C-alpha cells in the first residue's frame, strides 16, 4: 500500500508528505497498520474461490485507501484532534491541505483498483470500479445522516440502522464483493458475488454496532479514549437510540433530558446516562443485535468468513 501512495509523487511532494504522515510512513513511522479488516475481507472472499494474491491485491489496496480517505475527511467533519495517539492530519497541516490530501487519496484508491490482473475481463474490471464508486457514494449518504443527527433531539432506530448501513456496512459489503469478482471474473450479478456482498454487509453492521458498544462500555486502555466517550460527545449510537425507543420510564427520561441539552455532556450527565442505559438493559440489547448480524455472515459465506467474523467481532470483557 505504501507504494500506491509514494509512487504517486508529482513535481510537488506536499500531498505525498501529508499522506505519509497520515499512514506513518517514513519519516513519520512507525506505520499505522491497524487491523486492515476491509482488505482482509477482500482476501478472504477471493481465497474462498481459490484466487491468488495477484488477483485480489489491487482491490484490497483500493478499498483500504478509500477507507483512509474517509478517515481524513471524518476527522475534519467530527473535529477529532487525535487518531491513534497522534494529531490528526488536519490538526497538523490545516483543514484546507488535509481536505486536498484526502481528495488525492480518494483518487489513488481508484487508480490502485484499476491495476487489476490482466486475466480479469475488462467488463468485470469496469464493474469493480463502478461498484467502488457506488460504495463511496453511499458512504457520503451515511456521513450526511450522521452529521444531521447531531442537530436532532430524537433519532428513530430505523434511521439509525440506515445510517450505519450507508456509512460503514456498505464498504465492508463492497470489500467482500470485489474479492469474489476478482476471483470468479464475474460482475455483481453473479450469485456468489451477491451472497458475499450480503455477508460483508452483515459484518459491517455488526462491526459498527460493536464500535457503539466500545464507545460507551469499553475500558479506556482498549480504545485510547475516555470511558463513555460517545456519550460525552452526545453522539447518537445504537444503545441510546434503542433506549429512547422503549416505553416511558425514569431511566428513559434521564437520557432524554441529557440529550435534549443539544450540547456535549458533562461528567455528571455522562454518569447518569450510562447508569440509565445499564438499568434499561441497553448493552444486552446491543449484544443481541451484534450476535444476530454476526451469525448472518455464516448464512451467506464460507466457513473462513464466519470464523473471521466471530474472531473480530467478539465482545470485549
Contact yes or no for 87/105 (Cβ under 8 A):
no
Query: How many whole angstroms separate alpha carbon 73 and alpha carbon 52?
Result: 33
Query: How many whole angstroms separate alpha carbon 297 and alpha carbon 303?
Result: 9
pLDDT of residue 84: 84
DSSP assignment, residue 25? -
pLDDT of residue 223: 47
Per-residue model confidence as pLDDT tens for the chain (317 residues)? 788 887 655 556 899 999 999 999 988 888 877 789 999 999 999 999 999 999 999 999 999 999 999 999 999 998 899 988 899 999 999 999 999 999 999 999 999 999 998 889 999 999 999 999 999 999 999 999 999 999 999 999 999 999 999 999 999 999 999 999 999 999 999 999 999 999 999 999 999 999 999 999 987 445 455 678 999 999 999 999 999 999 999 999 999 999 999 999 999 999 999 999 999 999 999 999 999 999 999 888 888 999 999 999 987 76
Query: How many whole angstroms separate alpha carbon 37 and alpha carbon 35?
Result: 5
pLDDT of residue 8: 57
Contact yes or no for 40/105 (Cβ under 8 A):
no
Query: How many whole angstroms separate alpha carbon 273 and alpha carbon 155?
Result: 16
Helices (H), the chain: 2-6, 14-23, 37-47, 53-78, 89-93, 95-113, 122-149, 157-164, 170-184, 191-217, 220-223, 229-232, 238-244, 250-259, 267-280, 282-300, 303-312
Closest CA to 215 of 163, 283, 272, 152: 283
Contact yes or no for 183/116 (Cβ under 8 A):
no
Residues 6+ apart with CB under 8 A from 262: 151, 153, 234
Q: For residue range 230-270, list pLDDT tens digits in order.
A: 999 999 999 999 999 999 999 999 999 999 999 999 999 99
Query: How many whole angstroms separate alpha carbon 144 and alpha carbon 86?
Result: 26
Contact yes or no for 173/200 (Cβ under 8 A):
yes
Residues 6+ apart with CB under 8 A from 263: 234
Contact yes or no for 179/37 (Cβ under 8 A):
no
Q: For residue range 65-80, list pLDDT tens digits in order.
A: 999 999 999 999 988 9
pLDDT of residue 226: 61
Q: Which domains, ranges and CATH numbers included, belong to the chain? A: 2-25+34-311 (1.10.600.10)
Query: How many whole angstroms separate alpha carbon 80 and alpha carbon 86?
Result: 11
pLDDT of residue 27: 87
pLDDT of residue 314: 85
pLDDT of residue 270: 97
Amino acid at each position: 500500500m505504501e507504494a500506491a501512495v509514494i509512487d504517486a509523487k508529482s513535481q510537488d511532494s506536499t500531498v505525498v508528505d501529508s499522506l505519509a504522515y497520515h499512514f506513518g510512513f517514513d519519516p513519520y513511522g512507525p506505520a499505522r497498520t491497524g487491523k486492515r479488516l476491509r482488505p482482509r475481507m477482500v482476501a478472504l472472499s477471493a481465497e474462498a474461490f481459490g484466487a491468488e494474491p495477484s488477483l485480489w491485491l489491487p482491490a484490497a489496496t483500493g478499498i483500504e485507501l478509500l477507507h483512509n480517505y474517509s478517515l481524513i475527511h471524518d476527522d475534519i467533519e467530527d473535529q477529532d484532534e487525535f487518531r491513534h495517539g497522534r494529531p490528526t492530519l488536519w490538526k497538523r497541516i490545516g483543514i484546507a491541505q488535509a481536505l486536498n490530501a484526502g481528495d488525492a487519496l480518494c483518487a489513488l484508491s481508484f487508480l490502485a483498483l484499476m491495476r487489476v490482473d490482466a486475466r480479469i475481463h475488462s467488463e468485470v474490471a469496469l464493474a469493480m470500479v463502478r461498484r467502488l464508486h457506488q460504495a463511496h457514494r453511499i458512504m457520503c449518504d451515511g456521513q450526511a445522516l450522521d452529521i444531521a443527527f447531531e442537530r436532532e433531539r430524537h433519532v428513530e432506530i430505523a434511521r439509525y440502522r440506515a445510517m450505519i448501513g450507508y456509512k460503514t456496512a456498505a464498504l465492508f459489503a463492497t470489500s467482500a464483493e470485489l474479492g469474489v469478482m476478482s476471483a470468479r471474473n464475474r460482475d455483481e450479478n453473479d450469485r456468489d458475488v451477491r451472497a458475499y456482498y450480503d455477508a460483508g454487509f452483515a459484518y459491517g453492521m455488526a462491526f459498527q454496532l460493536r464500535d457503539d458498544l466500545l464507545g460507551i462500555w469499553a475500558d479506556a486502555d482498549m480504545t485510547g479514549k475516555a470511558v463513555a466517550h460517545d456519550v460525552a460527545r452526545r453522539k447518537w449510537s445504537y444503545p441510546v437510540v434503542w433506549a429512547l425507543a422503549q416505553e416511558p420510564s425514569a431511566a428513559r427520561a434521564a437520557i432524554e433530558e441529557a440529550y435534549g441539552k443539544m450540547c456535549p455532556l458533562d461528567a455528571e450527565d455522562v454518569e447518569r446516562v450510562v447508569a440509565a442505559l445499564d438499568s434499561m438493559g441497553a448493552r444486552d440489547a446491543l449484544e443481541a443485535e451484534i450476535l444476530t448480524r454476526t451469525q448472518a455472515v455464516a448464512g451467506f459465506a464460507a466457513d473462513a468468513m464466519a470464523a473471521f467474523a466471530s474472531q473480530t467481532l467478539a465482545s470485549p470483557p
